[in-house]
Amino acid sequence: MWRQAWSTLGVLCFLLVNSLFAQGVPEAPNPGQRPNTQTSAPAQEHPLLPAIALVKDRCITALSKVQDYEATFTKRELIQGKLLTQVMFIRLREQPFSVYLRYGGEQEGREILYLHGQNNNQLLAHEGSGFLSAFGTVPLDPKGDQAMSENHYPVTHIGMRNLVNQILDQWEIETKFGEIDVKYFPNAKLGERECEVIESFHPHPRRDFRFHVTRVFIEKSTGFPIRIENYGFPTQANAAPPLSEEYTYTNVKVNVGLQDKHFDRGNKEYKF
Protein backbone atom coordinates (compact mmCIF):
# COMPACT_ATOMS: atom_id res chain seq x y z
CA MET A 1 0.00 0.00 0.00
CA TRP A 2 2.62 2.44 1.09
CA ARG A 3 5.59 1.32 -1.01
CA GLN A 4 5.61 4.02 -3.66
CA ALA A 5 8.50 5.14 -5.78
CA TRP A 6 10.47 8.05 -4.38
CA SER A 7 13.04 10.24 -6.03
CA THR A 8 16.38 9.77 -4.32
CA LEU A 9 17.07 12.22 -1.53
CA GLY A 10 20.73 12.32 -0.52
CA VAL A 11 21.48 12.17 3.18
CA LEU A 12 22.13 15.77 4.20
CA CYS A 13 25.36 16.50 5.97
CA PHE A 14 25.26 17.48 9.63
CA LEU A 15 26.07 21.13 9.08
CA LEU A 16 23.70 21.55 6.15
CA VAL A 17 20.76 20.34 8.22
CA ASN A 18 21.47 23.21 10.58
CA SER A 19 21.41 25.90 7.91
CA LEU A 20 18.49 28.14 7.03
CA PHE A 21 17.17 26.81 3.73
CA ALA A 22 15.33 28.87 1.17
CA GLN A 23 12.28 26.63 1.66
CA GLY A 24 12.00 27.87 5.22
CA VAL A 25 13.72 25.01 7.03
CA PRO A 26 14.79 26.87 10.19
CA GLU A 27 18.26 27.22 11.57
CA ALA A 28 19.37 24.89 14.34
CA PRO A 29 22.33 25.33 16.68
CA ASN A 30 25.54 23.71 15.45
CA PRO A 31 27.30 21.60 18.10
CA GLY A 32 30.60 22.32 16.40
CA GLN A 33 30.10 26.07 16.79
CA ARG A 34 28.29 26.49 20.08
CA PRO A 35 27.20 30.02 20.96
CA ASN A 36 28.62 31.86 23.94
CA THR A 37 25.21 31.82 25.64
CA GLN A 38 25.29 28.07 26.32
CA THR A 39 25.35 26.78 29.89
CA SER A 40 26.37 23.36 31.15
CA ALA A 41 24.58 21.02 33.52
CA PRO A 42 25.85 21.05 37.13
CA ALA A 43 28.92 18.81 37.53
CA GLN A 44 27.71 17.10 40.71
CA GLU A 45 24.85 15.26 39.03
CA HIS A 46 24.33 13.30 35.85
CA PRO A 47 24.19 15.84 33.01
CA LEU A 48 20.87 14.51 31.76
CA LEU A 49 18.98 15.03 35.02
CA PRO A 50 18.58 18.82 34.62
CA ALA A 51 17.55 18.27 30.99
CA ILE A 52 14.88 15.79 32.03
CA ALA A 53 13.63 18.16 34.72
CA LEU A 54 13.46 21.06 32.27
CA VAL A 55 11.51 19.09 29.68
CA LYS A 56 9.06 17.90 32.31
CA ASP A 57 8.64 21.39 33.73
CA ARG A 58 8.19 23.11 30.38
CA CYS A 59 6.82 20.56 27.91
CA ILE A 60 4.86 18.11 30.03
CA THR A 61 3.28 20.94 32.01
CA ALA A 62 2.29 22.80 28.84
CA LEU A 63 0.94 19.71 27.09
CA SER A 64 -1.09 18.66 30.14
CA LYS A 65 -3.40 21.57 29.33
CA VAL A 66 -3.90 20.49 25.71
CA GLN A 67 -6.91 18.35 24.86
CA ASP A 68 -6.58 18.50 21.09
CA TYR A 69 -4.84 20.40 18.31
CA GLU A 70 -4.46 20.98 14.60
CA ALA A 71 -1.06 21.60 13.03
CA THR A 72 1.23 21.11 10.08
CA PHE A 73 3.43 18.11 10.78
CA THR A 74 6.70 17.72 8.86
CA LYS A 75 8.45 14.39 9.17
CA ARG A 76 11.92 13.56 7.86
CA GLU A 77 13.19 10.03 8.38
CA LEU A 78 16.03 7.95 7.02
CA ILE A 79 14.24 5.02 5.37
CA GLN A 80 16.41 2.33 3.76
CA GLY A 81 19.26 4.77 3.25
CA LYS A 82 17.13 7.59 1.81
CA LEU A 83 15.92 10.70 3.60
CA LEU A 84 12.15 10.70 3.19
CA THR A 85 10.32 13.99 3.76
CA GLN A 86 6.56 14.07 4.28
CA VAL A 87 4.34 17.03 5.12
CA MET A 88 0.81 16.61 6.40
CA PHE A 89 -2.06 18.34 8.12
CA ILE A 90 -2.78 16.69 11.46
CA ARG A 91 -5.77 16.66 13.74
CA LEU A 92 -5.10 15.00 17.08
CA ARG A 93 -7.29 14.42 20.11
CA GLU A 94 -5.70 13.06 23.29
CA GLN A 95 -8.77 11.29 24.78
CA PRO A 96 -9.77 8.97 23.30
CA PHE A 97 -6.59 9.02 21.25
CA SER A 98 -7.61 10.00 17.73
CA VAL A 99 -5.61 11.05 14.67
CA TYR A 100 -6.49 12.34 11.23
CA LEU A 101 -3.73 12.96 8.65
CA ARG A 102 -3.98 14.53 5.20
CA TYR A 103 -0.77 14.42 3.17
CA GLY A 104 0.59 17.00 0.77
CA GLY A 105 3.43 16.91 -1.73
CA GLU A 106 4.03 13.66 -3.62
CA GLN A 107 1.41 11.92 -1.47
CA GLU A 108 -1.21 14.61 -2.11
CA GLY A 109 -4.64 13.28 -1.25
CA ARG A 110 -3.49 10.43 0.98
CA GLU A 111 -5.55 10.31 4.19
CA ILE A 112 -5.13 8.30 7.37
CA LEU A 113 -7.60 7.94 10.20
CA TYR A 114 -7.01 6.26 13.53
CA LEU A 115 -9.37 6.18 16.50
CA HIS A 116 -8.40 4.07 19.49
CA GLY A 117 -11.02 1.44 20.24
CA GLN A 118 -12.66 1.72 16.82
CA ASN A 119 -12.20 -0.26 13.59
CA ASN A 120 -10.58 -3.09 15.58
CA ASN A 121 -7.84 -0.61 16.48
CA GLN A 122 -6.73 -0.56 12.86
CA LEU A 123 -6.00 2.60 10.92
CA LEU A 124 -7.95 3.46 7.78
CA ALA A 125 -6.00 4.71 4.79
CA HIS A 126 -6.38 5.54 1.13
CA GLU A 127 -4.17 7.02 -1.56
CA GLY A 128 -5.13 10.19 -3.40
CA SER A 129 -3.96 9.12 -6.86
CA GLY A 130 -2.10 6.45 -8.76
CA PHE A 131 -2.65 2.71 -9.07
CA LEU A 132 -3.08 2.12 -5.34
CA SER A 133 -5.92 4.63 -5.12
CA ALA A 134 -8.07 2.11 -7.02
CA PHE A 135 -8.18 -0.05 -3.89
CA GLY A 136 -10.06 2.67 -2.00
CA THR A 137 -9.98 2.77 1.78
CA VAL A 138 -8.21 -0.16 3.41
CA PRO A 139 -7.76 -1.12 7.09
CA LEU A 140 -4.17 -1.66 8.21
CA ASP A 141 -2.46 -2.85 11.36
CA PRO A 142 -0.71 0.33 12.64
CA LYS A 143 2.39 -1.75 13.44
CA GLY A 144 2.22 -3.95 10.35
CA ASP A 145 4.73 -3.94 7.51
CA GLN A 146 2.54 -1.95 5.11
CA ALA A 147 1.76 0.85 7.54
CA MET A 148 5.35 0.98 8.80
CA SER A 149 7.10 0.90 5.41
CA GLU A 150 7.56 4.70 5.37
CA ASN A 151 7.69 5.30 9.12
CA HIS A 152 10.01 4.82 12.08
CA TYR A 153 7.04 4.76 14.47
CA PRO A 154 3.37 3.74 14.21
CA VAL A 155 0.57 6.29 14.04
CA THR A 156 -0.28 5.35 17.63
CA HIS A 157 2.97 7.09 18.67
CA ILE A 158 2.37 10.33 16.78
CA GLY A 159 1.93 13.70 18.47
CA MET A 160 3.93 16.13 20.57
CA ARG A 161 3.13 14.38 23.84
CA ASN A 162 4.19 10.96 22.60
CA LEU A 163 7.29 12.43 21.02
CA VAL A 164 8.52 14.17 24.15
CA ASN A 165 7.71 11.13 26.31
CA GLN A 166 9.84 9.05 23.96
CA ILE A 167 12.77 11.43 24.46
CA LEU A 168 12.29 11.34 28.24
CA ASP A 169 12.29 7.53 28.19
CA GLN A 170 15.48 7.57 26.13
CA TRP A 171 17.21 9.99 28.48
CA GLU A 172 16.06 8.13 31.60
CA ILE A 173 17.79 5.01 30.28
CA GLU A 174 20.92 6.97 29.40
CA THR A 175 21.25 8.34 32.95
CA LYS A 176 22.68 4.92 33.84
CA PHE A 177 25.73 5.60 31.70
CA GLY A 178 28.48 8.15 31.24
CA GLU A 179 30.00 9.43 28.00
CA ILE A 180 27.41 12.12 27.45
CA ASP A 181 27.57 15.87 27.05
CA VAL A 182 24.51 18.09 27.47
CA LYS A 183 24.32 21.66 26.22
CA TYR A 184 21.65 24.35 26.49
CA PHE A 185 20.91 27.05 23.94
CA PRO A 186 18.47 29.46 25.61
CA ASN A 187 18.26 31.91 22.70
CA ALA A 188 17.81 29.70 19.64
CA LYS A 189 15.33 30.29 16.84
CA LEU A 190 13.29 27.99 14.63
CA GLY A 191 12.32 30.23 11.76
CA GLU A 192 10.78 33.20 13.56
CA ARG A 193 9.90 31.25 16.68
CA GLU A 194 12.04 31.82 19.74
CA CYS A 195 13.14 28.57 21.34
CA GLU A 196 15.35 27.07 23.97
CA VAL A 197 17.20 23.99 22.77
CA ILE A 198 18.57 21.06 24.74
CA GLU A 199 21.23 18.96 23.02
CA SER A 200 22.54 15.61 24.23
CA PHE A 201 25.71 14.28 22.62
CA HIS A 202 27.41 10.88 22.81
CA PRO A 203 31.00 10.99 21.53
CA HIS A 204 31.24 7.23 20.97
CA PRO A 205 28.74 4.64 19.73
CA ARG A 206 27.63 2.23 22.43
CA ARG A 207 25.02 -0.50 22.51
CA ASP A 208 22.79 1.52 24.83
CA PHE A 209 22.94 4.78 22.84
CA ARG A 210 20.42 4.99 20.01
CA PHE A 211 21.64 8.34 18.67
CA HIS A 212 24.82 10.36 18.41
CA VAL A 213 23.01 13.68 18.93
CA THR A 214 19.48 14.47 20.14
CA ARG A 215 17.99 17.97 20.14
CA VAL A 216 14.74 19.15 21.65
CA PHE A 217 13.40 22.54 20.53
CA ILE A 218 11.04 24.07 23.10
CA GLU A 219 9.00 27.06 21.95
CA LYS A 220 9.38 29.79 24.57
CA SER A 221 5.89 31.24 24.20
CA THR A 222 4.06 27.91 24.63
CA GLY A 223 6.43 25.35 26.13
CA PHE A 224 5.61 22.98 23.28
CA PRO A 225 8.31 20.63 21.89
CA ILE A 226 8.00 21.90 18.33
CA ARG A 227 10.95 19.99 16.90
CA ILE A 228 12.93 16.87 17.75
CA GLU A 229 16.11 15.98 15.86
CA ASN A 230 18.04 12.71 16.15
CA TYR A 231 21.34 12.03 14.39
CA GLY A 232 23.03 8.67 13.95
CA PHE A 233 26.69 7.92 14.53
CA PRO A 234 29.04 8.52 11.58
CA THR A 235 30.03 5.33 9.80
CA GLN A 236 33.46 6.67 8.84
CA ALA A 237 36.07 8.79 10.59
CA ASN A 238 35.55 12.53 10.12
CA ALA A 239 32.22 11.95 8.36
CA ALA A 240 29.19 14.08 9.18
CA PRO A 241 26.58 12.35 11.36
CA PRO A 242 23.53 11.44 9.26
CA LEU A 243 20.12 12.80 10.17
CA SER A 244 18.12 9.79 11.31
CA GLU A 245 14.80 11.49 12.08
CA GLU A 246 13.34 14.96 12.51
CA TYR A 247 9.81 15.94 13.54
CA THR A 248 8.51 19.51 13.35
CA TYR A 249 5.17 21.04 14.31
CA THR A 250 4.13 24.39 12.84
CA ASN A 251 0.86 26.36 12.69
CA VAL A 252 -0.22 24.72 15.94
CA LYS A 253 -3.76 25.54 17.13
CA VAL A 254 -4.68 23.96 20.45
CA ASN A 255 -7.98 23.12 22.13
CA VAL A 256 -10.01 23.74 18.98
CA GLY A 257 -12.82 21.45 20.15
CA LEU A 258 -12.26 18.35 18.02
CA GLN A 259 -15.20 15.95 18.25
CA ASP A 260 -16.08 12.45 17.09
CA LYS A 261 -17.16 13.83 13.72
CA HIS A 262 -13.60 14.96 13.03
CA PHE A 263 -12.48 11.32 13.25
CA ASP A 264 -15.42 9.82 11.37
CA ARG A 265 -14.66 8.34 7.95
CA GLY A 266 -18.07 9.65 6.85
CA ASN A 267 -17.03 13.27 7.42
CA LYS A 268 -17.76 15.16 4.20
CA GLU A 269 -14.37 16.91 4.46
CA TYR A 270 -12.68 13.56 3.91
CA LYS A 271 -12.58 11.09 1.04
CA PHE A 272 -12.52 7.71 2.76
Beta partners for 79? 82
pLDDT digits (tens, 9 = 90+) for 60-82: 999 999 999 999 999 999 999 99
Position 15 pLDDT exceeds 80: no
Look at 133 and 87; give whichever has higher pLDDT: 87
Mean pLDDT, residues 97-116 taken together? 96
DSSP class of residue 59 equals I
pLDDT at 266: 94
pLDDT digits (tens, 9 = 90+) for 162-209: 999 999 999 999 999 989 999 999 999 999 999 999 999 999 988 889
Find all residues with CB under 8 Å of 173, minimum gap 6, and list them.
Answer: 208
- What is the average pLDDT score of the chain? 87
pLDDT band at 109 (very low <50, low <70, confident <90, very high): very high
Hey, where are the domains in the chain?
40-64+159-248, 68-156+256-263
The whole model's pTM is what?
A: 0.83
Cα–Cα distances (Å) from 159 to 150, 228, 234, 257, 266, in that order, read 17, 11, 28, 17, 23
Look at 129 and 27; give whichever has higher pLDDT: 129
Decide: 214 and 241 in contact? Cβ < 8 Å: no
pLDDT at 43: 54
User: What is the distance between the alpha carbons of residues 136 and 51, in angstroms, rounded to a whole number?
Assistant: 46
pLDDT at 25: 37
Position 34 pLDDT exceeds 80: no
E-only strand ranges, the chain: 39-40, 68-79, 82-93, 98-103, 111-115, 123-126, 138-140, 181-190, 193-201, 213-219, 225-231, 243-254
